[in-house]
Amino acid sequence: MRCGYRSIRITCWTVSVRQPNLQNVTINADVQAAGIPAPTDQSNPRGRVLQVGPLMPVVQSTIVAEHHAVRVPDGQARQAFLDEHGSEFTVAVTSGKIGVDSALMAALPNLLAVVNFGVGYDTTDVAQARSRGIQISNTPDVLNDCVADTALALLLDVFRRTSAADRFVRRGAWQKGNFPLASKLSGKRIGIVGLGRIGTAIAQRLEGFNCVISYHNRKPAVGSEYRYVGSLTELAADSDALIIAAAGGADSVKLISAEVLAALGPQGYLVNIARGSVVDEAALVAALLSGDLGGAGLDVFADEPNVPEALLALDNVVLLPHLASGTLETRAAMAELTLTNLEQFVSTGTLLTPIAG
């Protein structure tokens, strides 16, 4: 085990987590009392670090202890802080939920890198970053298994209606009769929208259920043995369920349209573990309320943490609070990769896992 790390046992797994050197933390008492962090002098031109939004505690404590990171204020204090200090920061550490948006990026004229905790980075202005030569990293691969597992859990739930059956027992309805029959998953036709790392992990799991797997990408995946369908509507019409594993961002907003949902039909199911923006949420709610869609398993929403109220009363919809990667093991691995990207950039000006393009 490398120096600077400690081993934490979680259940029956051992996870390596950084142990920050708290002796290196510099705190401006006046600014801290006012609720606004103060930048501290650093000699490394790539080392002035800005924290954007909340982070996993071990990530937050480590970037403060080892890199003197300060957090950009929220609310009215933000603009004054950026006017005075924005030019001092060269690295931003953030999460996929918060990101570095257009306005914040513009207020950081010397920004060189955005280190992202999470695989998604659609909340960061990638176009501006590319035009300015700003590097962006994410945390790929380490969360593939848990996100794929969650997709399968949702898929099984909407087919077999296990959550609905649990509620049926808890409210005492079993005393009055049997729970309605549900549908089997084994052997069903499953369409995957986005056959990347996570989509492939989902497909591999579906093979164990003898499912017939097809997929839609912008272009066929090199080396894939699964059936490629060039039309998303055609994929929906030829599937018993669609699993959304496409990347978020401007190019995929409302990719799953009313037309696609209509093609999936009243016997079809939708599972989304990607981004809420990928689905036309209003069209989805309408299709579920009218019975034009059989059901849905949703881990993500368009305006998190707000969930359309109409979905809360539907027994054929499974709702999760964006927890697909939310396991102790995966979050520890994501934290480690985030910190490694930051350290490598500060040391060499390069990122270990830069995004494509």
pLDDT digits (tens, 9 = 90+) for 71-93: 999 999 999 999 999 999 999 99
| 238 pLDDT more than 50 | yes
| 32 pLDDT more than 50 | no
| 22 pLDDT more than 50 | no
**264 and 160 within one domain:** yes
Tell me whether residue 322 is one of the annotated catalytic residues: yes
**158 and 281 within one domain:** yes
Mean pLDDT of the chain: 89
Task: State pTM to two decimals.
Answer: 0.84
Element (H, E) at 329: helix 328-348
**77 and 23 within one domain:** yes
- 47 pLDDT band, cuts 50/70/90, is low
Please report the pLDDT score of residue 39 as a whole number.
46
The domain spanning residue 238 has which CATH number?
Answer: 3.40.50.720
Catalytic member of 216, 275, 281, 336: 275
Catalytic member of 78, 322, 329, 343: 322
Instruction: Encode pLDDT of 277-286 as tens digits.
Output: 999 999 999 9
Please list, in sequence order, all residues whose beta carbon lies within 8 angstroms of the beta carbon of residue 153, skipping any fewer than 6 positions away: none
CA-wise closest residue to 236 among 256, 212, 221:
256
Q: Kindly state the percentage of the chain with pLDDT values over 70.
A: 87
Distance of CA 212 to the CA centre of its chain: 27
Catalytic member of 84, 207, 259, 304: 304
Domain that holds residue 313: 144-319
Tell me whether residue 304 is one of the annotated catalytic residues: yes
- 46 pLDDT band, cuts 50/70/90, is low
**70 and 199 within one domain:** no
Tell me whether residue 275 is one of the annotated catalytic residues: yes
Please list, in sequence order, all residues whose beta carbon lies within 8 angstroms of the beta carbon of residue 307, skipping any fewer than 6 positions away: 301, 319
Please report the pLDDT score of residue 356 as a whole number.
85
Element (H, E) at 100: none
Stretch 263-280: mean pLDDT, rounded? Answer: 97
Reading across the β-sheet that carries 269-272, which strands appear in turn?
227-228, 212-216, 189-193, 241-244, 269-272, 295-298, 317-319
| 26 pLDDT more than 50 | no
Please report whether residue 164 resides in a domain.
Answer: yes
**160 and 49 within one domain:** no
* Residues 229, 120, 96: CA angle, nearest 5 degrees: 155
**237 and 225 within one domain:** yes
Please report whether residue 354 resides in a domain.
Answer: no
Stretch 218-239: mean pLDDT, rounded? Answer: 97
| 42 pLDDT more than 90 | no
Q: How many domains are contained in the chain?
A: 2
**308 and 204 within one domain:** yes
**302 and 211 within one domain:** yes
